[in-house]
A and B are shown apart, each in its own frame.
Chain A
Amino acid sequence: GENVGLHLPTLSVQEGDNSIINCAYSNSASDYFIWYKQESGKGPQFIIDIRSNMDKRQGQRVTVLLNKTVKHLSLQIAATQPGDSAVYFCAENGGLSQKLVFGQGTRLTINP
């Protein structure tokens, strides 16, 4: 399940630091905005979602921020660990098909 996109944005952080991954979305009518994590050789894994009528939601070590004015979504990971190394995708969900529309992804690399 590796993402082999040649043009993936990359973010490198030191272990223990906080990571912030950003995403611009296009569809203002989406009901949910979501972050998925994809580790090498695996399928995407749900991390956290935020409903369109919210601007912040916190999970375990993660926080998602939604700015509808500028159509911007961010994922903050606190105290980044080696296991956080992966490609992170933002996604939108809504409409009759309930499909997920994925962004291009950001590769997060953790430096020891």
Chain B
Amino acid sequence: AQKVTQAQTEISVVEKEDVTLDCVYETRDTTYYLFWYKQPPSGELVFLIRRNSFDEQNEISGRYSWNFQKSTSSFNFTITASQVVDSAVYFCALSERSQGNLIFGKGTKLSVKP
């Protein structure tokens, strides 16, 4: 069975701190895709990144970076020098080629205080 676990329910940091959001997944498929979505207070779901199971290279996009490790079934997300605008709920999600939908974790609420 497929599952996504985000063990951190809420995280609070002070602006300019680095913060890492954890994501652990379970799947039986050898081909799958991992995602991070951001849900700001306004409520929409914003796509951040997609990673496929064959590409374990870490990715950096500005202040955001992602660490994908198949050995530990983890896909962690780090925000460097956090800003107040980063305050949101962040969801990790899994898509299997044999399935037709995204399976979401419960989300991590990040609060960045000035």
Q: Do A and B bind each other?
A: no
